[in-house]
Chain A
Amino acid sequence: MSASAQIVVKDVSHDYRPPVGRVVRALEDVSLSIREREFIALLGPSGCGKSTLLYLIGGFLRIENGRICVDGRAVTAPGPDRGVVFQHFALFPWKTVKGNVLYGLERGKLPRAERETRAQAFIDLVGLTGFEDSYPSQLSGGMKQRTAIARTLAFDPQILLMDEPFGALDAQTRSLMQTELLDIWQKTRKTVIFVTHDVQEAVYLAERVAVMTARPGRIKTIVDTAFDKNDPQIYRARTFVDKVDEIWGLVREEAIKAQGTHAR
């Protein structure tokens, strides 16, 4: 497996050093390898360092301990090969929905007309047709989130780092977006790291689910979860339900630990 690994995280620890207050160890000795075009989900209690891990792979934070390689090269800076959907959307508030989606395309090689068509296609895909000229401050939370998804998908990164990308969506929209994401993943051979709090979603979408421990975050276990994604009844299958229960138990343990450290 390590031979074909595209993203290799090796013994990575990360400390936050806020200007006031004490040092926070967010990650400790995290190791993980992800194959090319694999779909892996990252689960773990709030505050365990999931976003931090994505930021490190994205190249936004300095890697002080350990090593992260993508396609055999050490990560030193952000790049459009690793498209990030940020947990808090990180839209440009002075740009319209269309302007936001176009921004990533403007640095690409596509001619202008094609950029427009492509942006529009992804706006349609996330169901924001008619809101092209709205500013983020005029959108609901879920609409902002979908704009962020469209923006990242539009510039076609080979690797998708998605930080709770469906967190602000209602159940119906979420289910539609899951289908679209799987469709894109199956058609365009992307590698996806998908952070979520929804165990069922993780089991359904991903081929493997990595469960993280309470802070400082480590990889607790990695569970294989390759189910048939084209089966609409998969949610009812015995094996699926058992898998969700198993992982739910693991996450719960850590969530309780995380609570305990707060209480003390």
Chain B
Amino acid sequence: MAHVTGVRDRTSRGWRNAPASPFVARIGWGLARSASIVLLLAGWEILARSGTFTPFVLPALTSVLERILADAMSGDLFLGASATLYRALTGFLIAAVGGISLGMAMTRSIGIRWFFDPIISVGFPMPKIAFLPVVILWLGLYDVSKISMVAFEAIFPVVTATIVGIKGVDREIIWSARNMGASNRELLCQIMLPAAFPQIMTGLQVALPISLIVAIVTEMLMGGNGLGGGMMSASRFADSPGVFAGIVEIAAIGYCLIKGMSMLRRRMLLWHQEALEPSTV
């Protein structure tokens, strides 16, 4: 969870008996922290080479990596990844802007809250992918419908996090802003939004992997290239290394996105307690 929330595990770096070179120490700890992944990958390679399964059922990791390398050289990897990322990130941005605005509007206006509150309550737990056939009818099979699905699914955690964040702002903080003459508008933009930002950021960190997941699922269901579409066509052509290459690529991209997001969080929440000394508990 430490990676996701962006709370840096400072204790591991400040370890008393760490090797003299901080560079070596960093690599060492990086390896130690990803040990389970390394073990899993090694297990995959050994199992695949042991002959228990045919290469069709379980291709060796090395052959999958070779395939990724070949895809990267030919530019296919770049095309697929950029198509998927474009859909995921555009949808995510729409969800972020729309979700924060809607959340703020809902805390400001009784009418808007009255209208949207039940919709959010019903919509959040619902599998939005059930709307896919409707979205296809309305918006077609191309990027617009995929991006809409992404935004539709990702907006819910952003809205709820924004509402929770704004409602949780300490009343004395609001009062002191009022005391210094803040208008309604200033109160919202200069006080509520930054005060609620840690919560909102958490909502965005939940929404980002959702965006990637929905982008890939819609690609699998509707085609249209991208990493998800690529995996489906590889599967149709019984191209086993191609399918597994897709899985590894998606995992790597997802990891980078989450990592980037938690770095962004640290940068933007420098003022926050969590960016200082992490507590030991």
Contact = CB atoms under 8 A, between A and B. Distances in A.
Given A78-B175, A86-B172, A93 B272 contact: yes
B172 to A, nearest CB: 4
Interface string B249-280: 00000000000000000000011110010000
A137 B176 CA distance: 18
Interface residues of A, number: 29
Residue among A79, A83, A137, A155 facing the most chain B CB atoms (10 A cut-off):
A137
Given A90-B175, A90-B176, A92-B173, A79 B272 contact: no
Interface residues of B, number: 20
B177 interface: yes
Interface stretch (B32-40, B104-112, B179-187, B219-227): B179-187
B272 to A, nearest CB: 7
A80 B172 CA distance: 15
Secondary structure dominating the interface of B:
helix
Given A92-B191, A93-B271, A86 B176 contact: yes
A91 B272 CA distance: 13
Contacts of A155: 180
A84 interface: yes
Contacts of B270: 135
A137 B179 CA distance: 22
Residue among B175, B182, B270, B273 facing the most chain A CB atoms (10 A cut-off):
B175
B178 A78 contact: yes
Interface string A78-101: 111011101010111111100000
Given A78-B178, A155-B180, A95 B172 contact: no
A138 interface: yes
A217 interface: no
A13 to B, nearest CB: 21
B195 A84 contact: no
A153 B227 CA distance: 60
Nearest to B273: A137
A90 B178 CA distance: 12
Contact of B172 (A90, A96, A135): A90
B195 A80 contact: no
B179 A58 contact: yes
Nearest to A77: B178
Contact of B271 (A79, A95, A104): A95
Contacts of A94: 194-195, 197, 271-272
A103 interface: yes
Contact of B175 (A86, A107, A136): A86
A241 B12 CA distance: 58
Contacts of A152: 179
Given A60-B178, A80-B181, A151-B176, 18 more contacts: A55-B175, A58-B179, A60-B179, A79-B181, A80-B179, A80-B180, A86-B175, A90-B170, A90-B173, A92-B195, A93-B272, A94-B194, A94-B271, A94-B272, A103-B180, A135-B270, A135-B271, A137-B271
Interface of A: 55, 58, 60, 77-80, 82-84, 86, 88, 90-96, 103-104, 107, 135-138, 151-152, 155
10 pairs of A and B residues whose beta carbons are closest in the complex:
A90-B172, A104-B180, A90-B176, A135-B271, A78-B178, A107-B181, A94-B194, A80-B181, A94-B271, A60-B175
8 contacts: A80-B181, A83-B179, A86-B175, A90-B175, A107-B180, A107-B182, A135-B270, A137-B273
